Structure 1
Amino acid sequence: MLLTVCLTVSVGFAQAPAEHTLKAAYLYNFTRYIAWPDDAWSEGQQEFVIGVIGNNPFDTTLDQIAGKRLAQKRPLVIKYFKTLADYKPCHILFVAADSPADVHAAILRQTRNQPVLVVGERTGFAEDGATVNFVLLPDGSIRIEMNIDAMNRGRMQTSAQLLKLATVVRDRGAE
């Protein structure tokens, strides 16, 4: 069901390569299938923020989605952070694959125990502590890995529908 919704959202957003168009649709749809705790919004904050750190692989796709959609009944805002020093708190943070390993590790340290859905596309990133990792399969489809330990640390809850689509993983070394 989520994949169908993702494909529906991605229609008409052909500027980014198909892989990243689908990933952008997943990022938006996570807002529909994951619940954030009330304290994920600072006092007076009305926006739902998706951040991208590193080079933006989505072209204008995320901005186009944000211009047409709400996220959890809130205006959807996309913020781009070129470096770790630019990072500001957000609800979903996509870490581009070309970001250096030390940036991946620093983001995981900085967001640990925070209600931030950290999403990446690097082998082993979910087991390292990211909440979600995209895995590109040989046939061009995308599998999502979801780290339930990271979900619990961030006090986020996911729907059963999303869990059925995901490969559930745990932190490296967790039992």
Structure 2
Amino acid sequence: MRNQRIIAPNIIFDLLKRLLAFKIVFLLLSIFCGSLATANTELSKESKLKAAYLLNFTLFMTWPEQTSQAASSSPQRINVCVQANENFFEFASALSKGAKFSTSRKQIHIVKFTQSADCQMTYIQQDASVFLQRILNNVLVVDNATLNTEQAAIKFYTDERKLRFEINLPALRRSDVKVSSELLKLAKVNRDVN
């Protein structure tokens, strides 16, 4: 007989254990990475843009309390109440914690609409008619032009596959909020009093 190596059963058993452990780790990583990827893709690009717009709107608006707090050193808390799906809420919350939205004059907080009565801005994805009494002195932002309410200060709409927004100046005046001319340059502006 020639020189043949005899592999001990213990070595084979160790190799099989390592191979099995590697497969289990690979399977768990695949499941984990797959769930992260699907969680990130559940929110459309358009919804992410709406969340970014929503937060940027606050930077170009001045609420009545803000003018009276101008002399104060503490920043004004701006609650943006959101009546939308959980993914939108989580994305907007994470976005609001970014450095851009923490200024020396304003602190932007995303709050679930059902959990706060103190809202300066309210974003609604669905029919707003049941909420109208609660949001009388808010800047009301509606998801699309089909949610047609004259109380809406800002309406998102799509034009040539691009996300746009319309600002209703009479609605903003009713809520006593001032808007920057820089924001008005980017919007379709409705100046009509209905």
More helix by share: 2
Which residue is equivalent to 1:89? 118
- 1:109 is aligned to 2:133: yes
Aligned length: 148
Give the unaligned 5+ runs of structure 2: 1-39, 69-73
Give 1:72 deviation, angstroms.
6.6
Mapped to 2, the partners of 1:72 and 1:155 lie a distance apart of 22
TM-score by length of 2: 0.64
Mapped to 1, the partners of 2:170 and 2:148 lie a distance apart of 10
Which deviations, in whole Å up to 9, do the C-alpha atoms of 1:75-110 show, x marking residues without a partner? 32211135xxx55221111001xx3x3xx1233333
Cα 1:150–1:71 change in 2 (3 A) is: farther
3-state secondary structure, aligned to 1:110: coil
Q: Is 2:157–2:164's contact at 8 Å kept on the other side of the alignment?
A: yes
- 1:122 is aligned to 2:144: yes
Higher RCO (Cα < 8 Å, 6 or more apart):
1
Cα 1:119–1:62 change in 2 (3 A) is: same
TM-score by length of 1: 0.70
Give 1:28 deviation, angstroms.
0.9
Amino-acid identity (%): 25
Give the unaligned 5+ runs of structure 1: 1-13
Which of 164, 168, 176 aligns to 1:147? It is 168
Which deviations, in whole Å up to 9, do the C-alpha atoms of 1:14-66 show, x marking residues without a partner? 6531101111111111111111111799xx99522111114345153211122
RMSD: 2.9
Cα 1:152–1:59 change in 2 (3 A) is: closer
